[in-house]
A and B are shown apart, each in its own frame.
Chain A
Amino acid sequence: MIKDRLTELNKAGIKKGDVIIALILVLASFLALLYSPGSSDSTEKYAILYHKGEEIDRINLDSIDNPYEKPYILNGLKAIIRYEKGSAAFIYSDCRDKLCIERGQIKGQADASVCLPLNLVLIIEGGEREKDMDAVVY
């Protein structure tokens, strides 16, 4: 079985060294996952908004009964974040590519959405860690 797979890879010009490099990086990604920061013991879920690395807003997502939208105007550029029970999402931004909006709702611990042009980072802290794979949005 493994031999068949290696023969297939050989046809694509893959060498043993390539496989070793891939395995090392996969291992490194698992090790990095074990030591990744951002876990919080808090049982309450918060959406924390950072601008240029400084916390500018902190919303308790567990206490929201009615969803609402909150605008932020920073350096003449506008962003709107929608807060719901247990989740938050960029719904408007003056940035060009709108990747922060495409990112959609974030809801699990260590989940984040980033709007680089506006230098905004929205992070979820507390609650349970999401099992889905998430990462930075450029």
Chain B
Amino acid sequence: MNKSTKQKPNYPMLISIYGILSSLAICLSYLESLIPQIPFFPPGAKLGLSNVIILLSLTFLGIKGSLFIFLAKSLFALLTRGVFAFLIGFSGGVGAFAVSVILLYVGRLYKRGYISLAGVSIISAAVFNVFQLIAAVIVTGTNFLSAYLPFMLFASVVSGLITGIILNLSAPTVKKSAAKLILR
């Protein structure tokens, strides 16, 4: 593409989108904490609705933009839930973010259409839970918690599938609209 015709990002709009998506991720994270325990889900396990925003942003904002939203959400967790809960959640989040980046940008499964965003969401939910458990085992110093791995893995399939369906239905429209707003 010719340098002169290359579309430049609309930076004020881009900053606004960063802010809106960060707020959405934080709000969803908070709202989710108000939902009572989901039947057949391990206590403390959540649907991970805020991860919808992070995965969604990865599809059109790129790695840097999504990382900003992920860090903003993590900072909120640090301020509201304390250091230990933050460390456990952050370790899960880092693992899930890294695996989502690999699946969306590096791997071939998504690029070639073998899996949809639901597959990415399921895998990232599983990685999130596994990393969380590893962190919990390290923090508490007891490997007994690894007994909860099967339940967390099962919960990640259910939550990943639900968030994945939301992503599959919303991503194409959001991506299209965002592209119009961001590029001038």
A interface residues, Cβ below 8 angstroms from B: 12-18, 21-22, 25-26, 28-33, 36-38, 50, 52-54, 95-97, 99, 102-103, 110, 112, 114, 116-117, 119, 121, 123, 133-138
Contacts and interface: CB of A to CB of B under 8 A. Distances in A.
Interface residues of B, number: 55
Given A28-B153, A134-B43, A135-B151, 4 more contacts: A97-B33, A117-B84, A119-B141, A133-B40
Given A17-B119, A30-B150, A136-B133, A116 B157 contact: no
What are the 4 A-B residue pairs with the smallest beta carbon separation, nearest first? A53-B141, A135-B42, A13-B168, A17-B115
A16 B115 CA distance: 7
B88 interface: yes
Contacts of A31: 150
B99 interface: no
A32 B157 CA distance: 15
Nearest to B45: A135
B118 interface: yes
A112 B160 CA distance: 25
A137 B115 contact: no
A50 B141 contact: yes
17 contacts: A13-B118, A14-B161, A17-B119, A21-B115, A21-B119, A29-B153, A31-B150, A32-B150, A32-B153, A36-B146, A36-B150, A96-B82, A99-B43, A103-B44, A110-B147, A116-B139, A135-B43
